Structure 1
Amino acid sequence: MTLLNRLNITMPIVQAPMAGVSTPALAAAVSNAGGLGSLGVGATNAAGARKMIEETRALTDRAFNVNLFVHATPTPDAAREAAWLQTMRPLFAAYNSEPPKELRTIYQSFAEDDAMFQMLLDTAPPVVSFHFGLPGADRIKALKAAGCTLLATATNLTEACAIADAGCDAVVAQGYEAGGHRGMFDPSAPDDRLGTFALTRLLATTSTLPVIAAGGIMDGAGIRAALNLGAIAAQLGTAFVACPESSADAAYRAALSSDAAHHTTMTTAISGRPARGLANRFTAWGADTTAQAPDYPIAYDAGKALNAAAKAAGETGFGAQWAGQGAPLHRPMPAADLLALLHAESQ
């Protein structure tokens, strides 16, 4: 039995688990339409994640995915963080605000989050996926014993091999075109920047795991191309941002429909890790600064504070408006309608 059949997924379409944008309503709508809906819980705690899972289960009896961030523990560096805040000071001053006095580690890695781990064992979501790396063997073994199907993101063959060796059930091949954070295990290592289709074909012919293609795929033609290259499914994120069920705010939606969609850019300035988003004032500043951002997610604490100060003054150009290179191809419509259209196009 194939992975999709086991999960009763009738359309080879996965909604990317966009932390901060994906909602129970969006995940359930995708799953109810025959795809695999996803929740991104890397930016919340165990209680918040449990609530999202319970709300999703109230809306669908089909399989859905819960995604965790498994980043390395950041190394606090007071001097580096102070220099970063000083570099950002003029940005805050432009909106009559001051940068934070110090920066915090705002997101806990799943590798160390015992409460999140226990919550997942208690709720046993049908699918659990990992981004930025892999948890320990004990956690993988326990989640599989609880009945969870496990996925993990790879940006190269080495990461894919580690995912297979760890006992996961499928690998998400994330190309450089993808919106949001690069899933690379070590952000300080050289990045070969493999495109989605090159990486998908490489993993489909060499990995022992089923492959889900991710990055820049926006329509049925892209889904069909991924399947032809050996993927079992395609993962789409940016395509769902404009759906009414997503929690993207009005500024994010407007930016997605603007010229900025034609100029997505990879930046570390917002969070401290490489991530692709719509070109805006923050990404432009990040491209010009020579200062070194603190480790992820410490840098994100500053980025979120700046965005809040700017938004309070009516400026929306400092948000984390993540989007892939296919952004101009997005089509605003309810998620179920989008699933039906994507499926029809892919035939």
Structure 2
Amino acid sequence: MWKNELTRVLNISVPIIQAPMAGGPTSSSLVSAVSNAGGLGMIGAGYMSPSALKQQIQEVKKLTDKPFGVNLFVPTRYIVDDESLQKANSLLEPIRSDLGVEPPRQLPNYDRDMETFHRQINVILEEKISICSSTFGIPSQELMEKLKKKSIMIIGTATSVQEAIMNEMAGMDAVVVQGVESGGHRGTFLGDPEQSLIGLISLIPQVADNIGIPIIAAGGIMDGRGVMAAKCLGAKCVQMGTAFLVCDESGANLLHKDAIMQSTEDKVVLTKSFSGKLARGVNNHFIEVMKPFEDSFPEYPLQNELTNGIRKASKEAGNIECMSLWAGQSPRLAKKQSVKELIDNIKHEIEIFCNQD
């Protein structure tokens, strides 16, 4: 049950990867705890500076001698539309005023984003990280070759069969197949994001029939039942986010964890309001108020920066109504426990299932 070609390459004893949740949840304690329990811990470096990434890698190395990886956001070009920026700022102003927040002084810049991305890659090479995954696109062939020359395993992300095929053609060693049930941002990079809202149970077998590289299933998986289902459909490993986000070692804010624990499947929605890119999280006042306007907001990462101060101030004030409470579609299955307890429980559930007549 636990061993296959992908677990052997990753050098892990259980086919469980901790989703690389950027923005704080993937603390050094969480990443190392997952790796120490036999899975693969992942640093979510999407919003990290190269120096902060280097520091966290070194922290994790002190906490585990097991393999762990780093996930990066691939920068994509975006249009800076003054009209949409002005409209978004106008809509956000009353909330900023209530929270005492100023508009951002500087907006994202593609060239600056790309420079940071290249410097993050250099940190991965310098620190001899063995596993690197990417989201929101596929790195250039030049960067892919640069990583492969150092024998770094590269994992892509796909939300459709065609995206999975593109990952394989680009030379990825494996691909995370992200179902619509996934929490946080959608990894879609090809075509209309609305057309890539495919359930995991439909997506895995269709991808498996069209590519030859190993599949890692992501989206709504919280326990042994989900792991078994993904395996039966053709996945070699699973990637779990929300289940680890609520664990004791997670760096997520306690308000965020509690909101997930108290939520239900019908309260976890897709929204563009916080970032300009579709993401799944617990519904709140901000999402409801901004819902009629979200299609007119600036593209990611522009909208993400416009709401950054609001999200931070809301968290500091203990107000979940303006926080981005990212979560997958199975909040009823979330449990307050340690990483070891979560993985041990999954192993126990699978053993029981396998021993049934």
TM over 0.5: yes
> Does the 8 Å CA contact 2:297/2:303 hold for their aligned counterparts?
yes
Q: 1:3 aligns with which of 3, 6, 16?
A: 6
- The percentage of counterpart residues that share the same residue type is 34
> Secondary structure, in 3 states, of the residue corresponding to 1:309?
helix
Aligned-residue offset at 1:198: 1.0
Q: 1:194 aligns with which of 198, 213, 216?
A: 198
Normalised to the residue count of structure 2, the TM-score between the two structures is 0.91
Taking the aligned partners of 2:287 and 2:324, their CA distance within structure 1 comes to: 9
Cα deviation code 1:280-325 (max 9, x no counterpart)? 1222123233661111111111211112333455422211211000
Task: Show structure 1 runs of 5+ residues with no match.
Answer: none
- Residue 282 (structure 1) aligned with residue 286 (structure 2): yes
> Does the 8 Å CA contact 2:76/2:110 hold for their aligned counterparts?
no
Letter in structure 2 aligned against 1:277: G
The residue number in structure 2 matching 1:296 is 300
Taking the aligned partners of 2:332 and 2:269, their CA distance within structure 1 comes to: 14
Aligned-residue offset at 1:326: 0.8
Aligned-residue offset at 1:35: 0.7
Aligned-residue offset at 1:260: 5.6
> Secondary structure, in 3 states, of the residue corresponding to 1:58?
helix
The residue number in structure 1 matching 2:21 is 18
RMSD: 2.1
- Residue 251 (structure 1) aligned with residue 251 (structure 2): no
- Residue 221 (structure 1) aligned with residue 225 (structure 2): yes
The change in CA–CA distance for 1:84 and 1:180 in structure 2 (over 3 A counts) is same
Compare 108-117 and 53-62 and name the one that shifted more.
108-117
The residue number in structure 1 matching 2:41 is 37
The residue number in structure 2 matching 1:236 is 240
> Does the 8 Å CA contact 2:49/2:116 hold for their aligned counterparts?
no
Taking the aligned partners of 2:315 and 2:64, their CA distance within structure 1 comes to: 35
The residue number in structure 1 matching 2:329 is 325
Aligned-residue offset at 1:93: 2.7
- Residue 64 (structure 1) aligned with residue 68 (structure 2): yes
Compare 101-110 and 312-321 and name the one that shifted more.
101-110
Compare 325-334 and 288-297 and name the one that shifted more.
288-297
Q: Give the number of aligned pairs.
A: 347
Taking the aligned partners of 1:45 and 1:56, their CA distance within structure 2 comes to: 17
> Does the 8 Å CA contact 2:261/2:335 hold for their aligned counterparts?
no
> Does the 8 Å CA contact 1:66/1:127 hold for their aligned counterparts?
yes
> Secondary structure, in 3 states, of the residue corresponding to 2:154?
strand
The residue number in structure 2 matching 1:268 is 272
Aligned-residue offset at 1:40: 0.3
The change in CA–CA distance for 1:192 and 1:119 in structure 2 (over 3 A counts) is closer
The residue number in structure 2 matching 1:124 is 128
The change in CA–CA distance for 1:49 and 1:290 in structure 2 (over 3 A counts) is closer
Aligned-residue offset at 1:186: 3.9
Compare 188-197 and 220-229 and name the one that shifted more.
188-197
> Does the 8 Å CA contact 1:201/1:229 hold for their aligned counterparts?
yes
> Secondary structure, in 3 states, of the residue corresponding to 1:14?
strand
> Secondary structure, in 3 states, of the residue corresponding to 2:323?
coil
Cα deviation code 1:100-138 (max 9, x no counterpart)? 466445996568622112112211212100000011001
- What is the 5 A alignment of 1:179-190? 179-186=183-190, 188=192, 190=194
Letter in structure 1 aligned against 2:5: T
Taking the aligned partners of 1:148 and 1:160, their CA distance within structure 2 comes to: 20
Letter in structure 2 aligned against 1:7: L
Cα deviation code 1:173-209 (max 9, x no counterpart)? 0000000100001474552311112111111122111
Normalised to the residue count of structure 1, the TM-score between the two structures is 0.94
> Secondary structure, in 3 states, of the residue corresponding to 2:239?
strand
> Secondary structure, in 3 states, of the residue corresponding to 1:82?
helix
Compare 117-126 and 99-108 and name the one that shifted more.
99-108
Aligned-residue offset at 1:50: 1.0
Choose between structure 1 and 2: higher helix proportion: 2
> Does the 8 Å CA contact 1:218/1:330 hold for their aligned counterparts?
yes
> Does the 8 Å CA contact 2:314/2:322 hold for their aligned counterparts?
yes
The change in CA–CA distance for 1:86 and 1:329 in structure 2 (over 3 A counts) is same
Task: Show structure 2 runs of 5+ residues with no match.
Answer: 352-357
The residue number in structure 2 matching 1:172 is 176
Taking the aligned partners of 1:19 and 1:148, their CA distance within structure 2 comes to: 21
Letter in structure 2 aligned against 1:14: I
> Does the 8 Å CA contact 1:243/1:334 hold for their aligned counterparts?
yes
> Does the 8 Å CA contact 1:73/1:109 hold for their aligned counterparts?
no
Aligned-residue offset at 1:261: 5.7
> Secondary structure, in 3 states, of the residue corresponding to 1:28?
helix
- Residue 134 (structure 1) aligned with residue 127 (structure 2): no
Q: 2:213 aligns with which of 203, 209, 212?
A: 209
> Does the 8 Å CA contact 1:197/1:213 hold for their aligned counterparts?
no
Aligned-residue offset at 1:4: 1.0
